[in-house]
Amino acid sequence: MRRSILILIFLVSALPAGAKDFYIAAKQAGTGSGTGCSTAKPYTWFNTANSWGTGSTQIGPGTTVHLCGTFTGTAGQQLLLVGGSGTSSSPITIKFETNAVLTAPYWSSQGGMAEVGRSYIVIDGGTNGLIKNTANGTGRGYAQDSRAIYAPSCTGCVIKNLTIADLYVRTSISDLAVRQTSVNCVYWLNSNNITITHVTCHDAGWAFTGYGNNFTLSYCNIYNIDHGLAFGPQGTNSGFSIHDNHIHDYVKWDSTTNVYHHDGLHIWGQNGGIATNGVIYNNIFDGDSGVNITAHIYLQDSINTIEQSIRFGLAVSLVREYCQAALQPEIPPTTISYVLADTCVAPPYSQWLKATLRQSITCSWVATPIFRCRAAAICPPRELITISRSSSRLQRLTRAAWASCCPVPSQ
């Protein structure tokens, strides 16, 4: 008996300090005690200053706030405003319960959810959490700036397991009514140690935009966008990791005057800002890129050492768009170095990579691993880029050259 009591004391003491769970919904349910979805508190409770603190009935470090059901906002509304911070060991988690949805004609330019100046907030979409607009886009009634999650100066914040949809559904090449820079799934200026992972974002302008030290973008599916990532620091930002994302289909943001130039990843320095010490690897760029594309990866101005290398898994970063085939890994990987001078893009980079630099720097392009096609494939008549183990430079392969690796099947 004494041993059982000691074990129970140990288990209780191992729980995070202040660990609490509250459930909220669009309207109060049942008694409104907040102990489950059937007794959920109204969302207005979340937005009340007195609901935040260290008391037993307040949201504080270690608390999980569960979102239940459908929250329907008005046009331009900011629905949920985070009123406090967690800690590195006890973050505050906002968790979407199964089938929880935040929907409005369009969410505010300051976010459907806002966590301004907060620390250690986790927004977790759970199984199928969704934030969406229903009436913003070509012929849909509104053409407004709109952001799903607004997180400037948010330290140690995480957004994960979430779908953000239809912030601006653009269906006409002549539709120039909206500022693509202000239609964002996540907006996070001057936010350090922020992580965006396993998020689907589609039908937005600049899907993810912001800057800060130690930023991670991983395992995201990003499409029907003008920019997948816009990362433009004004000071020196060190540390970023961009990997295992699928970024595709920019064509919906084409215009006859190239008002919206497309980039999968756009990293640049504003007003002398510098981005340094980062890695980019294992990302897929495919689909219809449109005619207004600058590059899938555009490194513009003041981009210093990128952790000595930018790594491309060629099967997912370069080859896949053009060669629909079974791919056989070739090992060992090859490292090839280049000095990028202060000029415009050199011809070999094509639309895959564009780099404009204020001073020469040396980057290593590491193919990890290198792939070659071992099966029949359909190769469209477009120029391709790959790295060959036998080559000391990036090679531009025409359709004819590529066909020797990926033969077009006979009809």
Minimal CA–CA distance to 204: which of 250, 273, 157?
A: 250
Residues 227 and 229: their CA atoms lie apart, in Å, by 5
Q: What is the pLDDT of residue 244?
A: 87
In a domain, 326, yes or no: no
Question: What pLDDT sits at residue 272?
Answer: 78
Domain limits for position 29: 9-321
Tracing tokens 């779908």 back to the chain, one arrives at 163
Quote the pLDDT of residue 362. Answer: 34
Q: How far is CA 44 from the centre of its chain?
A: 29
Which tens digits make up the pLDDT trace of 269-314?
A: 888 788 888 878 778 888 888 989 888 888 776 555 443 333 333 3
Instruction: For the chain, state the CA radius of gyration.
Output: 24
From first to last of its 411 residues, what are the pLDDT tens digits of the chain?
A: 555 444 444 444 444 455 899 999 999 999 999 999 999 999 999 999 999 999 999 999 999 999 999 999 999 999 999 999 999 999 999 999 999 999 999 999 999 999 999 999 999 999 999 999 999 999 999 999 999 999 999 999 999 999 999 999 999 999 999 999 999 999 999 999 999 999 999 999 999 999 999 999 999 999 999 999 999 998 888 899 998 899 999 999 999 999 998 999 998 888 878 888 887 877 888 888 898 988 888 877 655 544 333 333 332 233 223 333 333 333 333 333 333 322 223 333 344 455 544 333 333 333 332 222 222 222 233 333 333 333 322 333 333 333 443 333 333
- Residues 213 and 225: their CA atoms lie apart, in Å, by 25
Q: Report residue 324 as tokens.
A: 């629909």
In a domain, 244, yes or no: yes
Identify the CA nearest to 351 among candidates 279, 261, 282.
261
Does residue 304 lie within any of the structural domains?
A: yes
The model's pLDDT over 329-351, given as tens digits with 9 standing for 90+, comes to 333 333 333 333 222 233 333 44
Q: pTM for the whole thing?
A: 0.78
DSSP for 221-251, please give it. EEEEEEEEEEE--SSEEEEEEEES-EEE--G
Phi/psi at 9 (5° precision): -60, -40
Element (H, E) at 5: helix 2-14
Identify residue 323 by its one-letter amino acid code: C
Per DSSP (E only), the strands in 331-394 are: 334-340, 353-356, 361-367, 370-373, 384-386
CB atoms within 10 A of CB 214: 17
Q: Which residue has the tokens 């601006």?
A: 168
In a domain, 189, yes or no: yes
Nearest to 345, CA basis, from 337, 357, 334 = 357
For the chain, the domain total comes to 1
Half-sphere exposure of 131 (CA within 13 A, CB side): 36
SS3 content of the chain, % helix, strand, coil (to 5): 10, 45, 45
> Which pLDDT value is given to residue 299?
76
pLDDT of residue 139: 98
Q: Does residue 382 sit within a domain?
A: no
Assign 387 to helix, strand or coil.
coil
Q: What stretches of 33-87 show up as alpha helix (H) in DSSP?
A: 43-46
Half-sphere CA count of 247, side-chain side, radius 13 A: 32
Q: Identify whether the C-beta of residue 234 lies closer than 8 Å to the C-beta of residue 218.
A: no
DSSP class of residue 169 equals B
Q: Which residue has the tokens 């060190």?
A: 238
Contact 200, 171 (CB under 8 A): no
331 part of a folded domain? no
> How many residues appear in the chain?
411
Whole-angstrom distance, CA of residue 13 vs CA of residue 366: 47
State residue 382's pLDDT score.
31
Q: What is the pLDDT of residue 124?
A: 98
CATH of the domain at 157: 2.160.20
Amino acid at 86: G
What is the per-residue pLDDT for 221? 97
User: Is residue 253 domain-resident?
Assistant: yes
210 inside domain: yes
